Amino acid sequence: MRLGSPFLQACRGEPVPYTPVWFMRQAGRSLPEFRAVRERHTFAEMTASAELTAEVTIQPVRRLGVDAAILFSDIVTPIASMGIEVEIQSGVGPVFAEPFRSEADLARLRVLEPATDLAPVLEAVRIAVGELKVPLIGFAGAPFTIASYLIEGGPSRDYARTKALMLGEPVLWARLLERLADITIASLRAQVGAGAAAVQVFDSWAGTLHPDHYATYVLPASTRVFAALADLDVPRIHFGVTTGELLAYFAAAGADVVGVDWRVPLDRARQRVGGRAVQGNLDPAVLGAPWPAVAAEADRVIEAAGARPGHVFNLGHGVLPGTDPDVLARLVEHVHARTAKASTPADAPENARL
């Protein structure tokens, strides 16, 4: 599977039989089979159960025919596993009982021991990889975005506390980000060890930063993450939203593939990331429009990506909860058909399904 995977080929900038597709949050509330699981279990129960995690990780591959699965997880799962109290609130996100405030809080972030701390996560990876015929993408948050949740205590509109700490206590900030980087590294190395064939590092909210702030206060920690994964020889994807001015830095941090939200046309994004592959970038809200509009918008993404290899089709952010799964499935078929080259039967998209 691995060598012949269009997803992995595209990540590596190699020619592909058709443009591969997956969707951020493809394992989520848009799927009835996910909601059926979610109604019976809390988020914490789901991530604590290898079977449930594997099940919802696989669901979108079965239904949608996507070219990759991504581990069902949350950005805060590794730090939650070391006893930091956090609740994933539906429709809100992670909420911390005791936000990070000062140097004393650093002690709560110990070294991650994946084999024990992430035992169910790694078992879920093994189960999913055993069942899947497409690659599994490992999942982790980037240091800035984890730090922002820890410091704000939850999702934020303005990241005021985060930025005040970053600018006001730069030494403490750097120590925090380095520690979070090491947790991310340990988590992703363990996921690859368990069978993940690629990794995606979510720096979802880094786009709230001025580029100079990103370069000074965040890029070193993100570079540390990507450098520490280089020897694994798996594609490393780097994603955030409102990152138009940061794309060159996202590439410079060491990513093989740079995720692009829908605000930047892919041809423009290609220029900013140099030779790296790109992933994206259909506006998730477009999927609520009538099908002809969805198809036209998908075609525009494909056209902007251009003929050069190195494009993984995806949304510019996660699938919205109200999205019709039939539209997602139709979109996968559409992108495959629209980009299919003359190929041997072994390359045909249907053989890439589970």
Q: Which residues would be at the binding site for its own copies (CB under 8 A)?
A: 158-164, 167-168, 207-213, 242, 244-245, 262-265, 268, 283-286, 288-290, 293, 297, 300, 320, 322
Q: How far is the CB of 280 from its own copies (least distance, A)?
A: 11
Q: Which is nearer to its own copies, 109 or 246 (CB)?
A: 246
Q: How far is the CB of 158 from its own copies (least distance, A)?
A: 5
Q: Which is nearer to its own copies, 220 or 265 (CB)?
A: 265
Residue 59 token pair:
């669901």
110 is catalytic: no
Which listed residue (38, 63, 189, 272) is catalytic?
38
For residue 169, give the 3-state DSSP assignment: coil
38 is catalytic: yes
87 alpha carbon, distance to own chain's centre: 20
Q: How far is the CB of 292 from its own copies (least distance, A)?
A: 9
What spatial distance separates the first Cα and last Cα of the chain, rounded to whole Å?
11
Which listed residue (63, 67, 74, 249) is catalytic?
74
* DSSP string of 63-107, one letter each residue: HH--S-EE----TTHHHHHTT--EEEETTTEEEESS---SGGGGG
217 is catalytic: no
Closest CA to 28 of 318, 296, 326: 318
Q: Which is nearer to its own copies, 5 or 243 (CB)?
A: 243
Q: How far is the CB of 211 from its own copies (least distance, A)?
A: 6
Q: Which residues of 34-44 are buried (b: 16+ CB within 10 A; e: fewer)?
A: beebbeeeebe
Which listed residue (18, 25, 203, 249) is catalytic?
25
Which listed residue (67, 117, 149, 249) is catalytic?
149
Q: How far is the CB of 345 from its own copies (least distance, A)?
A: 36
Cα–Cα distances in angstroms (integers) from residue 281 to residues 122, 231, 263, 354, in the given order: 29, 28, 8, 25
Residue 229 token pair:
């994964």
For the annotated catalytic residues, the residue numbers are 25, 29, 38, 74, 149
